[in-house]
Amino acid sequence: MNTEVISKAELAASVIAKLGKTDTKGEFVSTSVRVPSWVLAELDAMAAHSGQSRSQVINLVLGAGFEAIKVHLDTALLSELEQLSAVQLVATRAEGKSAAGSI
C-alpha cells in the first residue's frame, strides 16, 4: 500500500500532464469571476491538454494555491481564516446556493 501523501500542486500537475486522475464530487456553487485574459488562456490550455473541464482545472489550481499560501501564514491567522470560512459556508448553504454533484 502506498502511503505517500502528495500535495495538491502535485495532484494538479499530474492531472494536467495526463498522468493522474481526479474526480471532484461534493457541494458546488456556481459563481462568476473576472480574471485577466492571460489567466483564462492558461486555464483553457490546461483544460484542453488534460481533457478536464475548465471548472475542474480551476478547482485543482485553487486548491494548490490555497495550500501554497497557507504554509506562509501564522497559526492565529490560519485559525481565523478557518472560522471565517466556516461562517461563509453556513451562509452559502442557508441561501440555497450550493448543490451536490460532480465536475
Give dist(CA 35, CA 64) in Å, integer: 18
pLDDT value for 80 = 98
Cell output for 77: 491567522
CB-based contact 8:63 (threshold 8 Å): yes
CB-based contact 57:47 (threshold 8 Å): yes
Tens digits of pLDDT across the chain (103 residues): 555 778 999 999 999 999 988 877 788 888 899 999 999 999 999 999 999 999 999 999 999 999 999 999 999 999 999 999 999 999 999 998 888 877 7
The predicted model scores a pTM of 0.82
